[in-house]
Structure 1
Amino acid sequence: MTDQEPENNPLDEEHVEQVHGTKARGSGEEIHESSLPPTGLLDLDIEQYVGDFNERIIGAYAAGTAEQSLPADVGVARSLIPPGTAALRDFSYIAMEIPQFDREKCVGCMACVTECPDTAILGKAIPRSHLEAKLNAITDDQEREGIRAQWAETKKYGEVYQKKGEEGALFGIFVDPTKCKGCAECVEVCDALGYHALTMVKKDEKTLPRYRSYFNFFRHVGPTPRKYINERALADMMLYEEAALLYVGGAGSCMGCGEATAIRMMLAATGFVHGAEAVGIVAATGCNTVYGSTYPYNPYLVPWTNSLFENAPAVAMGVRAKWDQRGWQEKKLWVIGGDGAMYDIGFQSLSRMLTSGMDINVLILDTQVYSNTGGQASSATYIGQDAKMASFGKAVRGKQERRKELALIAMMHPDVFVAQTTAAHINHFYRAIMAANEYRGPAVVSVYTTCQPEHGVADDRSSHQAKLAVDSRAFPLFMYDPRKGERIKERLSLAGNPSVGEDWYKVPHTGEVIDFLAFARTEGRFAKQFDAEGHPSETLRYAQAERLANWRRLQELAGVR
């Protein structure tokens, strides 16, 4: 992460317009009402402050002169960053490559848009007549044809509507070069589905101006008409920009960060169903608060506050009580935290919140390690994992304690909705978020979030490793809904896992067994558990047995075995 941008990074006026537009929509309205009461010397005119922030403060950081030119700031004293300022951040210089779109291979599945952790690749479905009119207004032939090549003929948005006698839409994929960090996860996701519509290409002196021109067209061509957004195709939610794209990118997260994708998707599902004005966040100290508020950049278009490592659920209880007092029962409140905030030091606060019965949702970003403090082991860490405080050595071969199953513990609290899911399982994830929002009471959604540096995997592997974690029983999917019945087996569903009735999943046609050892072989955090010939250690075999026992316990509770 960098707090200061290079001097050759000019302030993009289009980005300024974009952020001012979000302010005009009222994304900071709740901050006006509740977070900033008059306080004498620190009283603040928010409208004036936000405009001044974008023009003066962001401009100084973009020019690299902030430390020398900016005086002490009232907003900093209040720990206030206006909404969406990270839209102005430019990551164009970070990576040597950028995704290139092949319209002939695209089917409009929206997986790349959904899985991008940085809101850097976006899609739109635009009626053909409207798009042609916009394209014909471009006088430069080369630019016009280049932009035209970004729009694909798809069955989903074109043929289906034409058969109903309606005008079909063309589907476009566009990459924002100022937000793309070059992780290539979009390419990996597209390839995994067998479409191969994206490839990484080298940047040169012509690439960035061309991509900026294309993305400028994308921003001004207009929104996707609501009729082309199929609510049954859950990935389509991010086509609804006004309410679903509530995380603008520009955060200082690592390339390919698994956490950021989960946060984007949670906000998309909540905003799409309930509206952009109906969501707020209480965040526990962790990676999410660091990359979400690297001053002066805030990627959120919703009000959020950061509490201490251990008490975010308690803070949320206070917020919920105040909201309810004001008659804001319909607003959705989410607590976001990682292993320490939920599994360990903040567990008591979480447990108290769950027993309160209050209508609060919790998003657990499960990285199985304290990523924010340099990869320390936590009670979410797997047996055999090499981590700080549990390093692999002659006497102790990595983490020895068994992993705490927080989702199972949450189930044991009275009438709590619980889901264990991953952002890679798009439909399962979105259904879990929507069910949590719908449930009138405490809800916990625990999400497997790949941490590339600490797991020892490549930048493009977040989705791939999350899928493998599920297939190998390292992190099974489930939903536990108290509304489904009185018995645990009526409430608990293992739908979404492969071979639900078996111990291990076997790949069709090859018969390859995907067990915990197969998962561990793909990650650097378990590398020392294999000898030169690839044989697993006794510690890792014990870890495999422990994962199988956990899976069998879930099968028993769900009435599968």
Structure 2
Amino acid sequence: MGVTTQTDIKELSDSDVASPASAGLPKVWDAQDFFENVLLAYDHGEDDELVADEALARSIIPAGTGAHRDFSYIAPEIPRFLNDKCVGCMTCVTECPDTAILAKVVETPVLDEKLQEVDGQTDVEYLRQQFATTNKFAKVPEKKGATPGQFGIFVDPTKCKGCAECVEACSDLGYDALEMVEKEDDTVPVYQTGMDFMRWLPPTPTEYISDKVAVDMMLAEESLSPFVGGAGSCAGCGEATVLRMWLAAMGYKYGSERLGIVAATGCNTVYGSTYPYNPYTVPWTNSLFENAPADAIGIRMRWDQLGWQDKQLWAIGGDGAMNDIGFQSLSRMMASGLNIKVLILDTQVYSNTGGQSSTATYQAQETKMSQHGRVIGGKQELRKEIGRICMMHPNTFVTQVSAAIPNHFYKAILDAASFDGPAIVNAYTTCQPEHGVGDEAARRQAKHAVESRAFPVFVYDPRKGETLKQRLNLQGNPGQKDDWYTIRKTGEVVDFVNFARTEGRFAKHFDKEGNPSETLLAAQADRLANWHLLQEMAGVRVDPE
């Protein structure tokens, strides 16, 4: 693989990442042996020669080993940074599902000094091009009498899977500061030089990280520590982006030492624990498909006995795990009143087991268990709205979020974390193979889902008052008082049919002239009815009479 060395292994195995969290606990594995033998064997393609050991038998993977996983051989293309077009918005860093694009702000004098220490004029020129002089980090601070900073973007060639979502996101915002280029023989070594330089630089000074701009939190070292990358998720995976953003918020606010995760079996556990690679640096356990919230109840009770009330405990799982098979467990957890948070990765389908229909699947959607045929056109049942159901549980914080609306996402996550009691976060997560969209489309489709009322975002916070109107907030949805969102510049109405046209899972509902089927129109009526109910509950619905 070429990027993992004996020195790297030694440094990581000696760090807190690879060691037991507390020196007072018994050592459950030999981290040094794992890194020097198991991990290197996988890196060198010699894993078939390994014998089963105690750690494997106990399903233990040391924390942070995903940092050494190399995906550089997967894609023929990689993003290239065009510094003259960058504004420092952080969207590419935020939306990357693989921790493959990282950013850092360096004071201009410090950067100049560090570049002088680099050997080779070619390397210096390349590294200089990785930094942009932006209004946000350079010109505005300078006008205020502060030291200007240079904004750097670096692509990790060992983590990038070539999905191009960063390029799509940057283009959608009108900046075009990234472009996909073909890899050449020296591409990976050159990009690795950039990553090494970035890690050698000092951390981003706190004065460049604004609490008022939520996306800036990924400039902080604390935001990157809970999830180091190396997960085996699909290229452009919508779930992985949600997980990264959620963990960035947790790391920034609470730190890795105050977080634990109970993961229901599903896609997230498959790509998040493929032996020997663990992308997490926080305590993580995989429960059964249907009982992660119940497992979390036991852990929460024990933690509280130990006086660990300040630790964040989250259960995560897909819509199949939480809406369907595990709903009883989820409901029981909410009724318990315990301080447990749940992140639902809502792909509207059983992604991990081949794309079967779930109760979160939209009406008219074609799945493995709701095929579109001559007689029946896809799923006939209406979608279960887990958010509305959870609101009816006592003293429970509930929110629906989309990674495509990052400021709303981060605020909702932090509000959920601060709530003293159960909190449910239902996140829209694009699943490329099951939704029938491209690898670069996760953010675009997650945004479209909100705009089309397919997946409205909201926050239901019991702390805000006694009535539904006081508790429910629909901010984040465009045209809150309207039935459908209308794009001002074009006059285009963005309804559910408009959304369905962009995804393969609804393709069979359009005839040769592009007319939607009756089933799809019924699905659109259902989406509008759901939106009307949310409007009414939030007190923003205008009486048509």
Taking the aligned partners of 1:514 and 1:59, their CA distance within structure 2 comes to: 51
TM-score normalised by length of structure 2? 0.97
Taking the aligned partners of 2:419 and 2:158, their CA distance within structure 1 comes to: 38
- Contact map agreement 2:19 2:31 (CA 8 A) in 1: no
Taking the aligned partners of 2:435 and 2:534, their CA distance within structure 1 comes to: 25
Taking the aligned partners of 2:519 and 2:146, their CA distance within structure 1 comes to: 61
Structure 1 residues 117-136: aligned runs within 5 Å: 117-136=97-116
Gaps of 5+ in 2: none
Taking the aligned partners of 1:71 and 1:26, their CA distance within structure 2 comes to: 21
Residue 16 of structure 1 pairs with residue 9 of structure 2: yes
- Match for residue 359 of structure 1? 339
- Paired-residue identity, %: 59
Taking the aligned partners of 1:494 and 1:331, their CA distance within structure 2 comes to: 29
Deviation, 1:489, is 0.6
Structure 1 residues 36-435: aligned runs within 5 Å: 44-46=27-29, 49-68=30-49, 70-435=50-415
Taking the aligned partners of 1:96 and 1:79, their CA distance within structure 2 comes to: 34
- Match for residue 484 of structure 2? 504
CA-atom RMSD in angstroms: 1.5
Taking the aligned partners of 2:430 and 2:402, their CA distance within structure 1 comes to: 10
- Contact map agreement 2:264 2:289 (CA 8 A) in 1: yes
State the secondary structure of the residue aligned to 2:207: helix
State the secondary structure of the residue aligned to 2:352: helix
- Provide closer, same or farther for how the CA distance between residues 372 and 263 of structure 1 changes in structure 2, counting only shifts above 3 A: same
- Contact map agreement 1:448 1:475 (CA 8 A) in 2: yes
- Match for residue 3 of structure 1? none
State the secondary structure of the residue aligned to 1:172: strand
Shift >2 Å, 4+ stretches: 8-21, 23-28, 242-245
Deviation, 1:407, is 0.5
Deviation, 1:228, is 1.4
Deviation, 1:24, is 2.6
- Contact map agreement 2:334 2:396 (CA 8 A) in 1: yes
Taking the aligned partners of 1:280 and 1:189, their CA distance within structure 2 comes to: 31
- Contact map agreement 1:85 1:297 (CA 8 A) in 2: yes
Q: Which amino acid aligns with 1:24?
A: D
- Contact map agreement 2:18 2:64 (CA 8 A) in 1: no
Deviation, 1:164, is 2.3
- Contact map agreement 1:420 1:479 (CA 8 A) in 2: yes
Q: Deviations over 1:93-145 (max 9, x none)?
A: 00010000011111111110010000000000011111111100012001111
Gaps of 5+ in 1: 1-7, 39-43
The aligned length equals 541
1:29 corresponds, among 21, 24, 39, to: 21
Deviation, 1:208, is 1.2
Q: Deviations over 1:503-545 (max 9, x none)?
A: 0011112111100000000000000111111111110000000
- Match for residue 462 of structure 1? 442
Taking the aligned partners of 1:14 and 1:189, their CA distance within structure 2 comes to: 37
- Provide closer, same or farther for how the CA distance between residues 9 and 146 of structure 1 changes in structure 2, counting only shifts above 3 A: closer
- Contact map agreement 1:244 1:276 (CA 8 A) in 2: no
157-166 or 310-319: bigger deviation? 157-166
- Provide closer, same or farther for how the CA distance between residues 155 and 338 of structure 1 changes in structure 2, counting only shifts above 3 A: same
- Contact map agreement 1:19 1:87 (CA 8 A) in 2: no
Taking the aligned partners of 1:175 and 1:11, their CA distance within structure 2 comes to: 17
- Contact map agreement 2:235 2:439 (CA 8 A) in 1: yes
Taking the aligned partners of 2:444 and 2:153, their CA distance within structure 1 comes to: 22
Taking the aligned partners of 1:391 and 1:15, their CA distance within structure 2 comes to: 50
Deviation, 1:18, is 6.6
- Contact map agreement 2:259 2:312 (CA 8 A) in 1: yes
Residue 484 of structure 1 pairs with residue 476 of structure 2: no
- Contact map agreement 1:28 1:302 (CA 8 A) in 2: no
Deviation, 1:252, is 0.5
Deviation, 1:20, is 3.9
- Contact map agreement 1:279 1:332 (CA 8 A) in 2: yes
Deviation, 1:12, is 4.1
Q: Which amino acid aligns with 2:16?
A: A
- Match for residue 528 of structure 1? 508
Structure 1 residues 514-553: aligned runs within 5 Å: 514-553=494-533
Q: Which amino acid aligns with 2:126?
A: G
State the secondary structure of the residue aligned to 2:437: coil
Q: Which amino acid aligns with 2:4?
A: L
Taking the aligned partners of 2:485 and 2:402, their CA distance within structure 1 comes to: 18
- Contact map agreement 1:251 1:297 (CA 8 A) in 2: yes
